[in-house]
Structure 1
Amino acid sequence: MKSNSIIVEGARTNNLKNISVEFPKNKITVITGLSGAGKSSLALSTIAAEAQRQVNKTYSAYIQQLLPHFKEPEVDKIKNLPFTVVVDQKGIGNNKRSTLGTYSDIYSALRLLFSRLAKPFIGYSMNYSFNNPVGMCPRCQGLGEVREIIPEDLLNMSKSLNEGAIEFPTFQPGGWRLTRYTESGFFDNDLPLKKWSESKITLLLNGEKQVPPNPTRKWHKSAKYIGLIPRITQTFLSKNNSQYQNDLKKIVKVKVCPACHGQRLNAKALSAKINNNNIADCSMMSLVDLKEWLNNINDAKTKVIIEEIEVKLTNLINAGLGYLNLNRTTASLSGGEAQRVKLANYLNSDLTDLLYIFDEPSVGLHPYDLQNINNIFKRLRDKGNTVVIVDHDPQVIAISDKIVNLGELAGNKGGYVTFSGNFADLIQSNTLTGKSLRHKGKLKSKQKSFKEFYYINNASLNNLHNVKTKIPQQSLTAITGVAGSGKSSLVKLIKKRYPEAAILDQHEIHGSNRSNVLTYLNVFEQLRQYFAQATRQSSGLFSFNSLGACPVCKGKGVLKLDLAYIGESVTTCDSCHGQRYSQKVLELKVCGMNIAEAMALSPTEFAAKFPILKYAMAILKEVGLNYIKLNQSLDTFSGGELQRLKLAKLLLGQSSKILVLDEPTSGLHEYNVQDFINLLQNLIFKYGITIIVIEHNLRLIGQADWVVDIGPNAGNKGGKIMFAGIPRQLVKQKTLTARALRYYFGI
């Protein structure tokens, strides 16, 4: 008999406290709880990891070695586990050749359509591919852009070649590539470049491949001379050499390809049209406009192709992505956009009886967009799948068939199941989630006295055209609007007008086992110096990445044994007992503690024990991270914790009077959101700064001092300042944000 529930027994992964949970099949279950309570530990590190491990076991030993190895979760048993698909917030590739069109397969279908209907007929569908030599633009190889080396950034004209005039690695004194110029016999190696003739500079930069007539004796006999720009282009740019990417950014300018004007294709492919549009025109249309364009094609023999494209476009549009176009590179998508693209893609699948796990799908979404996302969850369920969602948003929680709440607090104080039931009972429960859903915060009624403003006048960028607005100083301003309406573009205009503004964006912290809170905040060196001075040792001895590392585990604290197809075994190092340091270092104590023990403290504990880093500890406490341990590696932090850690780092080095936060409540529970709002208001009062947030959270928007609402919709149907003023006035407007606020506050 087929069981109708996925049963997890005795889960102890990370901070989970030996919990047992049931997930009903063919239903939607939402896992709630504070950031750091154990939601991801249950859904991703336990259920998803075990599902992937079980699937990997079905492959041959050879294939298993090629697949990702997942750490075995600490759990007694998981019963009735189906094939599992994880839809997380990670991007969907950094390849510039990967676009929304290629990833979704819509572009492949569009190529097929053009090969059947476009005039003049130019051949098969591959002729329309910008990733194939027969279709790509020969100038940019199908990328739509070219990278050009800027001579002014490459050369320091006040220096000679021997003094390091070529400002790029391996062309500096001592670098072997420099000899290709200093030993060529063409140049005076000790003469500053500003004294060279124009012809010599041209020869240095763009000289054609040739055999030097009078090289020095050190010149290799078979070598040929070639200018700096073609050499760097061939060696580094054309081969996409990853070793010197940061150095290349300093000397390279990216611009639209002058041959194809960003359309990626050659002239032949661009000449073929359907209803006056070539395939590049279609790729540049918004998804909404492309669907309209397809509706005007009446051709029986391509009906199946058109229907396939329309279904996929509809799924993307319903995911709130109608403002995007097929030419948009997948690398440029935000985490929320990438997740929705993946989500829409799964709707195209005919597979059933799957378990879908979604990691905070509400991130980056306006309440209006969430309605469509919720419908996708329901459709996946109704097709015969099981849906598990990790999320904080009340709109998402409300559609669940079952809710599992973890908590009640974060870290070691979390990891318990504190509620299991339906939405109505959750609201009445004594959990922090229930209390937060009952108490939604208050719509700000008391208006601040605004004395001075920051102004944006007649500015344009992307879909914003000649916009004009103002933002009060020393206040909390929320920039609102549906995804793609122009919020991020407005922030870029603010940064352009006020360069001193500090921006905390959505870029991930790439944490590893060797990075911790202190290394991320750039204060670990101060602690090492303090221990070094107190013990009269070198500071390098107090680094587990250097001299002080445990000789057995090399400072990792754990030992890994790769058992090939059986998987990877991870055990705590017996020599240092997970403390990472050598025995010599562990015997050196200051204030009664060795450095490993000091780093195992919380911020408050550390501040009470040691006289240094007090400001950093106060900042960590201020952003709500007082419960963490200072030695906690960044790869163990939840998304919400990382967001607050980024804010702590920004505040620690903060000198700007304008602080811009891009969706700072991402990954935060509603209970944490209220604390975060209080934190922002305290920072404004304490430091006299102006805080601007791009935000969808209605609790925060309602308590902001000022709101700039952009719309009315997304893409070319957005980009207008719909409202600028206090929240109490916004609810009286007819915008999508105003409608959501009225519903949220019951007005």
Structure 2
Amino acid sequence: MDIRIRGARTNNLKAVDVDIPRGRLVVFAGVSGSGKSSLVFDTIAAEAGHQLNETFPPFTRNRLPKWSRPEVEEIKGLSPVVVIDQRRLGGNARSTVGTITDAWTYLRLLFSRIGTPHVGESNHFSFNDPAGMCPTCSGLGEVVVSAVERFLDLDRSLAEGAILLPGFGNGGYWYAQYADIGSFTADTPLREWTPQEREALLYGGAAAAALGVRPPADYEGIVARFERIYLHTSDNLSDRKQEAIARFTRSQSCPDCHGDRLNEASRGVTVLGHTIGELSRMEVTELADLVGRVTEPAVAPVRAALLDRLGAMVTMGLGYLHLGRATTTLSGGESQRIKTVKHLGSSLVEMLYVFDEPTVGLHPHDVQSMITLLRQLRDQGNTVLVVEHDPAVMAVADQIVEIGPDAGAGGGELVFQGRFEDLKAARTATALALAAQAPAKAAPRAATGVITVAGATRNNLKDLTVDFPAQVLTVLTGVAGSGKSSLAAELVAQQGAVVIDQRALSTNRRSTPITYTGIATPIRKLFAQASGLPAGHFSANSAGACPDCNGLGVIYTDLAFMDGQETVCQTCQGRRFTPEVLTHRVNGLSIADVDDLTIHDALDLLPDAAIRRGLGHLDRVGLGYLRLGQPLTTLSGGECQRVKIAKELRDSAEPTLYVMDEPTTGLHLRDIATLLRILDQLVEQGHTAVVIEHNVQVIRHADWVIDLGPGPGKHGGQVLYEGPVAGLKDTATADAIG
């Protein structure tokens, strides 16, 4: 039985009918915004998730992930769905690679059974359990300490506000405790004080007692007073206090456990001569070799389960990570691969696995590892659906489904279904892009200077000093984990830069291209001039809003322990405005019609220079298909990144250093050419662009390449090559670009 879909109309889908084979690896292709995600995630996965949730009682459903039912006439043949997307794992300070993959659970069980000396059950090796956590740092491995070097401005006197802490400046609550006690000169810059006087001001104690004019017996140094007020309190912290803590403290390794997170007894236990803290800092590949040497029969099942977890990580190209790595530091691509570890060991079959661009963050050299994973899930008896642009993944798919032919209103149709060999002979956007291979740049642009990163030792970097050429396009390349992101982070830290990464836009349900570009005001002015009404009447958040839905267009009904219900407002029929407001038009359009315009159409139909300036850059980055009223929360990662780039194109003035993290994420092969034109525009305006990228088209287009490696983790962190792309050879990147 196939997955049978009839009349799918979610988002831009145009009554799509398609049968998708079960038990196969199926790749969904198409240009960015064509509707492939609408079919896979918003239709298939959403309906599968919703139907599974319906099997639970209402109380339980209210605590499960919410799935919006798709607009589809018929859908059959679904299985329970597992969605593995690109969202970063996030988590809190207690979430690590070991805990998220359950590898830490097996490792601490191993230590509790065969570790010497024996200290107790496995919870004694859990830093999240009072039985095992270090009492000093509560299992976090770090403590918050005063950043004393930030407390004082030595070029000011006390009267001029030399104490930078809130409430300690002249006129502040604590000022008199230091300036008026007769022990310190209030009008002399602190730089002219003796070291002993500054020590007494900060810490009191013996230094204060040795002053010529001793302070009062109850004198309290600035550091002690700050820590008492801000750090040693159980009260709920106000925003003001939280800001002060963020500004005047820093985290450092716990002085007792030195980052191991465990108490003294647990830290001393060894297996094969290593403590559990030492194992948590080993690369997964190295750890797997060590665990393989455990021979005690009593722990054979634990050893096997742990090796399965570690082996899965190695298979996915994550062998360079270590179990103590915080999940908050993982990239989107690393997060996606980490999420799959549990599923490899699952005994469940006939599941529906849905992947969102699983090769994101992977060097072409590493893509084969992800392909192996996808095939393994399929061969276990599951259906694997993959939204992907990488030709290597398309080539191994059992079937390819392409949605198109274009983006937005120009997409939403089934344009191809079949094998990869047949796709190459078709005339679809994907087929044409596969046939077009751009050569390496023959005449790279000349730099106008250099931007230097000196002595970089972040993570695995081997004390690197690197010159980035100014006002050209530089691409950082290398296998996953080779140190690209670390070098880019050092560049930002040492030189300052505008960072355009893969994080979602800061938006809410009312955020649209209209609000984000700031064109709401000129649009309202246009309608105000045409109607004679105040501009506020044309705002869905103000006087013109429908009174029943408050301008949202929908009514939300809270059903207590059952799923809430969101329905179209019956008063305005989802149009958001009052009937009076909707009678006024500009070029035949009501204010509600403007929401349905694409950016490209709005540039022609809305006669205002401010509107053209606001929308022009979004059109230039290939987002002309977006509707003006489309919530930005519905944009893909690649679309969000292009929105950010468009904003920089609009706002940039002075020559600026831009650092971009895989800007091709979510982009179809055809759309990458548009991205390259945008990068060229930035450089031609006098800016410097540094891009972390694996895409072959982008690498070939670079003026300058810095290739890191040779391997991941401790095997990387070295510069293998820096220069024009034509000179790149004898590295994994050179092999990939051909």
Task: Give the distance between the partners of 2:248 and 2:619, measured in 1 at CA.
Answer: 42
2:709 match: 711
Tell me how far 1:240 sits from its aligned partner: 9.0
1:364 match: 361
- Decide whether aligned partners of structure 1 residues 505 and 640 sit closer, same or farther in structure 2, where only a CA change above 3 A counts: closer
Q: Matched residue of 2:507: which SS? A: coil
Tell me how far 1:314 sits from its aligned partner: 0.8
Task: Give the distance between the partners of 1:140 and 1:13, measured in 2 at CA.
Answer: 50
Tell me how far 1:660 sits from its aligned partner: 1.3
1:678 match: 677
1:382 match: 379
Tell me how far 1:542 sits from its aligned partner: 5.0
**Equivalent residues of 1:502, 1:656 under 8 A apart:** no
Tell me how far 1:124 sits from its aligned partner: 1.7
- Decide whether aligned partners of structure 1 residues 23 and 167 sit closer, same or farther in structure 2, where only a CA change above 3 A counts: farther
Q: Does 1:43 align with 2:40?
A: yes
Q: Does 1:519 align with 2:510?
A: no
**Equivalent residues of 2:179, 2:185 under 8 A apart:** no
2:291 match: 294
Q: Matched residue of 1:349: which SS? A: coil
1:282 maps to a residue whose letter is: L
2:665 maps to a residue whose letter is: S
Q: Deviations over 1:204-254 (max 9, x none)?
A: xxxxxxxxxxxxxxxxxxxxxx96644543667x97999986675334422
Task: Give the distance between the partners of 1:34 and 1:342, measured in 2 at CA.
Answer: 26
1:622 match: 620
Q: Does 1:560 align with 2:556?
A: yes
Tell me how far 1:696 sits from its aligned partner: 0.6
1:207 match: none
1:697 match: 695
Q: Matched residue of 2:707: which SS? A: strand
2:515 maps to a residue whose letter is: T
1:643 match: 641
Q: Does 1:24 align with 2:17?
A: no
Tell me how far 1:325 sits from its aligned partner: 0.8
- Decide whether aligned partners of structure 1 residues 104 and 527 sit closer, same or farther in structure 2, where only a CA change above 3 A counts: same
Unaligned runs of 5+ in 2: 188-196, 205-223
Q: Does 1:491 align with 2:488?
A: yes
Q: Does 1:135 align with 2:152?
A: no
Tell me how far 1:349 sits from its aligned partner: 0.7
1:664 match: 663
2:540 match: 544
2:342 match: 345
Task: Give the distance between the partners of 2:549 and 2:157, measured in 1 at CA.
Answer: 49
Q: Matched residue of 1:66: which SS? A: coil
1:729 match: 727
Decide which moves more: 242-251 or 473-482: 242-251
Q: Matched residue of 1:320: which SS? A: coil
2:305 maps to a residue whose letter is: E
1:132 maps to a residue whose letter is: D
**Equivalent residues of 2:59, 2:561 under 8 A apart:** yes
Tell me how far 1:65 sits from its aligned partner: 2.6
**Equivalent residues of 2:526, 2:586 under 8 A apart:** no
Q: Deviations over 1:601-660 (max 9, x none)?
A: 444444441132432222112111122222221122222221211111222222443211
Q: Does 1:739 align with 2:735?
A: yes
- Decide whether aligned partners of structure 1 residues 243 and 64 sit closer, same or farther in structure 2, where only a CA change above 3 A counts: farther
Number of aligned positions between the proteins: 701
Tell me how far 1:298 sits from its aligned partner: 3.2
Task: Give the distance between the partners of 1:381 and 1:592, measured in 2 at CA.
Answer: 53
Decide which moves more: 490-499 or 123-132: 490-499
Decide which moves more: 127-136 or 146-155: 146-155
TM-score by length of 1: 0.85
**Equivalent residues of 1:9, 1:20 under 8 A apart:** yes
- Decide whether aligned partners of structure 1 residues 493 and 581 sit closer, same or farther in structure 2, where only a CA change above 3 A counts: same
- Decide whether aligned partners of structure 1 residues 159 and 557 sit closer, same or farther in structure 2, where only a CA change above 3 A counts: farther
Which of 391, 395, 417 is the aligned partner of 2:392? 395
| Alignment map for 1:226-305 (pairs within 5 Å) | 229-233=227-231, 248-305=245-302
* Superposed CA RMSD: 3.6
Task: Give the distance between the partners of 1:433 and 1:153, measured in 2 at CA.
Answer: 55
**Equivalent residues of 2:502, 2:637 under 8 A apart:** no
Task: Give the distance between the partners of 1:397 and 1:341, measured in 2 at CA.
Answer: 22
**Equivalent residues of 2:165, 2:244 under 8 A apart:** no
Unaligned runs of 5+ in 1: 173-177, 204-225, 743-747
Which of 607, 610, 617 is the aligned partner of 2:608? 610
2:487 maps to a residue whose letter is: L
**Equivalent residues of 2:26, 2:385 under 8 A apart:** yes
Task: Give the distance between the partners of 2:144 and 2:525, measured in 1 at CA.
Answer: 44
2:403 maps to a residue whose letter is: L
Q: Matched residue of 2:17: which SS? A: strand
Tell me how far 1:534 sits from its aligned partner: 8.6
Tell me how far 1:56 sits from its aligned partner: 1.1
Task: Give the distance between the partners of 2:584 and 2:469, measured in 1 at CA.
Answer: 53
Task: Give the distance between the partners of 2:444 and 2:58, measured in 1 at CA.
Answer: 67
Q: Deviations over 1:699-742 (max 9, x none)?
A: 11112222111111111001111111222221xx2211111112
2:217 match: none
Q: Matched residue of 1:461: which SS? A: coil
Q: Deviations over 1:484-525 (max 9, x none)?
A: 1100111122223322x2111221224332111233345545
Task: Give the distance between the partners of 2:671 and 2:603, measured in 1 at CA.
Answer: 24
Q: Deviations over 1:590-609 (max 9, x none)?
A: 77766544454444444441
Tell me how far 1:541 sits from its aligned partner: 5.6
2:215 match: none
Task: Give the distance between the partners of 2:322 and 2:112, measured in 1 at CA.
Answer: 21
- Decide whether aligned partners of structure 1 residues 242 and 533 sit closer, same or farther in structure 2, where only a CA change above 3 A counts: farther
**Equivalent residues of 2:649, 2:682 under 8 A apart:** no
Tell me how far 1:459 sits from its aligned partner: 3.0
| Alignment map for 1:161-172 (pairs within 5 Å) | 167=166
2:513 maps to a residue whose letter is: V
2:463 match: 466
Tell me how far 1:550 sits from its aligned partner: 2.7
2:370 match: 373
Tell me how far 1:673 sits from its aligned partner: 0.8
Q: Matched residue of 2:45: which SS? A: helix
- Decide whether aligned partners of structure 1 residues 583 and 150 sit closer, same or farther in structure 2, where only a CA change above 3 A counts: farther
**Equivalent residues of 1:282, 1:290 under 8 A apart:** yes
Task: Give the distance between the partners of 1:692 and 1:46, measured in 2 at CA.
Answer: 38
Decide which moves more: 503-512 or 101-110: 503-512
- Decide whether aligned partners of structure 1 residues 679 and 186 sit closer, same or farther in structure 2, where only a CA change above 3 A counts: closer
Task: Give the distance between the partners of 1:605 and 1:691, measured in 2 at CA.
Answer: 31
Q: Does 1:119 align with 2:127?
A: no
Task: Give the distance between the partners of 1:84 and 1:280, measured in 2 at CA.
Answer: 37
Task: Give the distance between the partners of 2:157 and 2:526, measured in 1 at CA.
Answer: 42
TM-score by length of 2: 0.86
**Equivalent residues of 2:500, 2:641 under 8 A apart:** no
Q: Matched residue of 2:610: which SS? A: coil
Decide which moves more: 640-649 or 116-125: 116-125
Task: Give the distance between the partners of 1:430 and 1:498, measured in 2 at CA.
Answer: 47
Task: Give the distance between the partners of 1:490 and 1:616, measured in 2 at CA.
Answer: 34
1:631 match: 629
Decide which moves more: 527-536 or 569-578: 527-536
- Decide whether aligned partners of structure 1 residues 604 and 24 sit closer, same or farther in structure 2, where only a CA change above 3 A counts: closer
**Equivalent residues of 2:682, 2:688 under 8 A apart:** no
1:438 maps to a residue whose letter is: A
What's the % identity of the aligned pairs?
38
**Equivalent residues of 1:369, 1:482 under 8 A apart:** yes
- Decide whether aligned partners of structure 1 residues 269 and 514 sit closer, same or farther in structure 2, where only a CA change above 3 A counts: same
Q: Matched residue of 1:406: which SS? A: strand
Tell me how far 1:360 sits from its aligned partner: 1.1
2:59 maps to a residue whose letter is: Y
